[in-house]
Structure formats: C-alpha cells, structure tokens
Amino acid sequence: MVISDCNGMEPELMDVVRLFAGAEELAISHSGRFSGGKFSNTFLVEGEAFSFSDEGEPAGETEKKSLMKRYAKLGLYMILRSRFGRDLPWGSLTGIRPTRLAYKELEAGRDFVPLFRKLMVSEENIALVGEVLAGQRGIYERREGNCDLFISLPFCPTKCDYCSFITAPIARTRQYVPAYLEALERELEASISAIGHLRSVYVGGGTPFAVEAEELARVLAAAAKLRTNGCEFTVEAGRPDVFTREKLDLCREYGVTRICINAQSFSDRTLEAIGRRHTAEDLFRAFDMAAPYGFDVNCDLIAGLTGESVEEFCRSVDTVISLGPENITVHTLCLKKGAKLKEETETLSEGGMSEMIAYSREKLAQAGYRPYYLYRQKYMAGAHENVGWTKPGKACVYNVDVMEESADNLAVGSNAISKKVFLREDRIERLGSPKDIPTYLQKVDKLIEERTKLFRA
Ligand SMILES: C[S@@+](CC[C@H](N)C(=O)[O-])C[C@H]1O[C@@H](n2cnc3c(N)ncnc32)[C@H](O)[C@@H]1O
Ligand code: SF4
C-alpha cells in the first residue's frame, strides 16, 4: 500500500509498485516537495527511510506536477529494484506510449536518450524507441484535420481466455446484429461532414469476419462511402475459423487494402488452451486463401501465453516469418479485467519472457522487418511491451496515428472511443460509447449528436 502527501501521486506510485511481484505487500509512505529548483522525494518503506533530490526548472504548474511525478516514480523504482534485485526493461517508465514521450523531448529541442537513461530504461529499449521513430518517418504527422476512422464490430466466434475486449461469442449476441448494423450505418452517414483529411479506415473488433457475408457487405459499403480518397483500409478479419472466399471477395470489392490473419500462436496445444477454436493448419489455409487477393497482411502473436514454453513461442516466430506477412505484431501477454485469465491468475509469470522478446526482435530484424509502433499496458508479463513490425514501406498508418495520438480518431460502434486532438493546445478530448450493445443501441442518437459537436469544435 502507498500513502503520499502529494495530490494524485498514489495511483502513479502504485503503477511502479505493481511492476514488482510481491511489492504490493509493502507499507510505503511518500512525501514530495519542490523548492529552490530541487524536487525532493522521501520514502519510508517498511520503516526504512530513503531520500532523493533532482534538479529541474519547470515552466509552469503543469510541468511542475509532471516532473514531481516523474522523479517520485524514479525514486520508488530505485528502491524497489535494489530490494527485489531486478532491473526492468522500461525502468521507471510506466506510461502506455514511450514513443510519445520521446517525441515530446524532440519537439522541445532535446534528444530523448538522456531522459530515457535517467529513467533507467534499458539500452536495448532506448535503441528500439529510436528505431520505431525512424520507422514512422514519412507517416508520423501532426497536422490539424488529419483523421482516422474506426468501426467496431464486437462479435467473435468464441471468447479467448486472455481477452478483455467487450465482445461475446456471436452465438449469444446474434440477435443484436441487424439493429447494430443499422446503428453503424447511421453513425457513419452522420460522420461524413465531421471528417477532415481521412488517413485510414480500420474495421476492428472483435472479429469482423464473425458476421455473415451480407452483413459484412453493409459495413464495408458504408465505410467505402466515406473513404473517397483511396486511403489505407484495414479489416481486422481476425481468426481463420471464420475466413471465407466470399468475405475476402467483398473486401476486394470495397477497396480493402490490409487484413489481419491473427495466429497468437502456431502451437495447437496453446490454441486449444486459450480457447481459440482453430488450429495452426487452419492458419496456413487462411494465408493460402488470402494470398491471391494481394492484400497487405498483419499477423498477431502473443508472448507469454499460459503454459507456452519459450521454444513453442520461438517456433511461432519462425513460422510467421516463413509465411511472410507484411506486418507482424508481437504482443506481451497482459492480465486484463474482464478476461477469463484474470479470474484464474493473480500475476503473470516472468519466466522466459525476456528470452522470447529478445528472440522475436533478433529474428524479425534478421528477416528484414523493422519496428514501427510500440505501446505498453498495465500488468504486462515481465513489464515488456507490444511491438508492430513491418516490411519496408508497409507500415500501417492507422497504428501509427492511434499510438502517437497524432490525428483525430472518429470511432463508431459500441465500446469505441472517439478522440479529437487539439494540436495547438496539446490536449485530447475523448468521447466513449457504451460498452454493451443494448445500451449502445438505445443511446446511439445522443452519441451522434455529441460527436458531431465535438468534431465541429
Ligand atoms: C482486438 S484483438 C482482435 C483480433 C482478432 N479478434 C483475433 O483474435 O484474431 C487484437 C489483438 O490484441 C491482442 N490481445 C488481446 N488481448 C490480449 C492480452 N490480454 N494480452 C496480450 N495481447 C492481447 C491479440 O494479439 C489480438 O489479436
Ligand atoms: S482475441 Fe480476438 S477473437 Fe479472441 S476474444 Fe479477443 S477479439 Fe475475440
């Protein structure tokens, strides 16, 4: 437990505590001050006192608060790393977007490396951030009016144990599909005037291919009406157990440029254990089926899946490389509220995580893939990260824009969060839609009204 005399500090310090298994049992109190150009942080951990002092010249109140948090977290990280005898790959950084912090440093005219070193990020990860920034060159753009469109289809064939997305097996939600599609069409129609420069469209989920072909056609047709400039168009088709030629034909007909064929693992034992209803053989068939269409393909893997060995994960990396999709995303297993896994597991084991991540980085780089986006979440196994890899020239604009929050995101459907980015004021306004489908259907008109207002602001 953490107690602090600084406003809003306790949740920040708890984020550091949770990085170390067992640290939640410790009694920690914190006191922070800023005076005479010095941030002073004092901690009592199980009765033992520690003090830290860092220099800084904050430009205003907001920056002062932000630096206070940064140095307090660093102080606590230093105490815990020596108490638990462990360095973590991202040091005291707990934020979701390390690259955003790097861009902020660069935009302030400073190199990001000294700050990352001070925060005790590993040299490998500092280099990774540099490579991701390089991978985003020519795509990353902060320009007023840039916008991406997200369409949520929260339906899946079965629910995977690790997944917390608000999505249910379609057998249980099928009755909502017609009304849901109607609501989506209304939302999209009303969005036409709200979109400035459209950079990409992403139909995600869930598993968009879980709906019937004629239902998918309605969504793609409505999206295609907004996508008049031929920009990137992804359908997170998803799992191979719902792949059909008919659905792929529709993707081609409506101008889709990129699809996802997600594996998570190529081990049949793991796929069964995590509640996926397909095998590795089904994945190979889906890749073969999609090949003649010429879409860019993304394939997701997860490191640290329950019961999976380092060898099994490494074999999945080799297999996906041999299939040669344009994009490969390597996720680190994450314990999320709402997932079945969370009910069964308190903390995730770190066993082998560093080896798996190191192997994926080495092999993907050797195979010519480059990292182009990166994000972290709370409760990730081994405190690692998710990295999107791409073949040269094939980076996904949508992923870059979303991770860097550099463009508006107009998101329709249930459990979708629209974001309006006010670049000059360096702030973002969000508008979330209800997570469950019946409530979303009830509130869709109000939602359309609120979003129109937000995007006109
Ligand atoms: C919204 S899901 C949609 C993908 C698609 N429905 C499928 O499963 O094939 C996007 C990706 O997030 C990743 N993911 C979901 N839950 C995760 C978790 N708890 N830990 C790590 N990655 C996770 C998976 O790799 C998944 O493919
Ligand atoms: S990982 Fe994909 S298929 Fe599995 S429950 Fe989540 S969204 Fe659905």
| CA–CA distance, 85 with 80 (Å, rounded to integer) | 8
| CA–CA distance, 273 with 160 (Å, rounded to integer) | 9
Question: Looking at residue 348, what is its pLDDT?
Answer: 61
Q: Give, using CA atoms, the residue closest to atom 4 of ligand 2.
A: 160
Residue 450 has pLDDT above 70, yes or no: yes
| CA–CA distance, 255 with 229 (Å, rounded to integer) | 11
Question: In 3D, which of 367, 309, 387 has the Cα closest to residue 135?
Answer: 387
pTM: 0.95
Number of C-beta neighbours around residue 241 at 10 A: 17
What is each CA distance from 152 to 77, 183, 394, in whole angstroms?
38, 11, 23
Q: Give, using CA atoms, the residue closest to atom 11 of ligand 1.
A: 300
Cβ proximity of 418 and 409 under 8 Å: yes
The HSE-up count of residue 267 (CA atoms within 13 Å, CB side) is: 21
Q: How far is the CA of 163 from the centre of ligand 1 (A)?
A: 6
- State whether the beta carbon of 165 lies less than 6 angstroms from ligand 1: yes
Q: Which two tokens stand for residue 79?
A: 């105490």
What is each CA distance from 31 to 56, 64, 75, 217, 396, in whole angstroms?
18, 15, 11, 58, 44
* CATH class for the domain made up of 1-86: alpha beta
The minimum-distance atom of ligand 1 relative to the CA of 262 is 9
Question: Is residue 349 very low, low, confident or very high in pLDDT (cuts 50, 70, 90)?
Answer: low
- State whether the beta carbon of 336 lies less than 6 angstroms from ligand 1: yes
Cβ proximity of 197 and 142 under 8 Å: no
Rounded to 5°, the CA angle 263-310-364 comes to 60
- State whether the beta carbon of 155 lies less than 6 angstroms from ligand 1: no
The minimum-distance atom of ligand 1 relative to the CA of 163 is 16
**Closest ligand to 159 CA?**
2
Q: How far is the CA of 83 from the centre of ligand 1 (A)?
A: 34
The minimum-distance atom of ligand 2 relative to the CA of 275 is 4
- State whether the beta carbon of 12 lies less than 6 angstroms from ligand 1: no
- State whether the beta carbon of 331 lies less than 6 angstroms from ligand 1: yes
User: What is the phi/psi pair of residue 284, to 5°?
Assistant: -60, -40
| CA–CA distance, 449 with 452 (Å, rounded to integer) | 5
pLDDT per residue as tens digits for the range 381-422: 888 999 999 999 999 999 999 999 999 999 999 999 999 999
Share of the chain above pLDDT 70, in %: 98
The minimum-distance atom of ligand 2 relative to the CA of 206 is 7
Question: Looking at residue 346, what is its pLDDT?
Answer: 64
Token pair 């999209």: residue: 188
The burial class, CB within 10 Å (0-12 / 13-18 / 19+), for 268 is middle
- State whether the beta carbon of 267 lies less than 6 angstroms from ligand 1: no
Q: Which two tokens stand for residue 53?
A: 């002092």
- State whether the beta carbon of 254 lies less than 6 angstroms from ligand 1: no
The burial class, CB within 10 Å (0-12 / 13-18 / 19+), for 430 is exposed
**Cβ < 6 Å from ligand 2: which residues?**
156, 159-160, 163, 165, 167, 205-207, 238-239
Mutation choice for ligand 2 from 207, 211, 282, 306, CB with most ligand atoms inside 8 A:
207
Residue 212 has pLDDT above 80, yes or no: yes
pLDDT per residue as tens digits for the range 78-109: 999 999 999 999 999 998 999 999 999 999 99
Token pair 């009830």: residue: 442
The minimum-distance atom of ligand 2 relative to the CA of 163 is 6
Q: Which two tokens stand for residue 162?
A: 């690790």
Counting every residue, how long is the chain? 457
pLDDT per residue as tens digits for the range 191-200: 988 898 999 9
Q: Which CATH superfamily is domain 146-443 in?
A: tm_1862 like domain (3.80.30.20)
Domain ranges of the chain: 1-86, 89-135, 146-443
DSSP category for residue 383: G
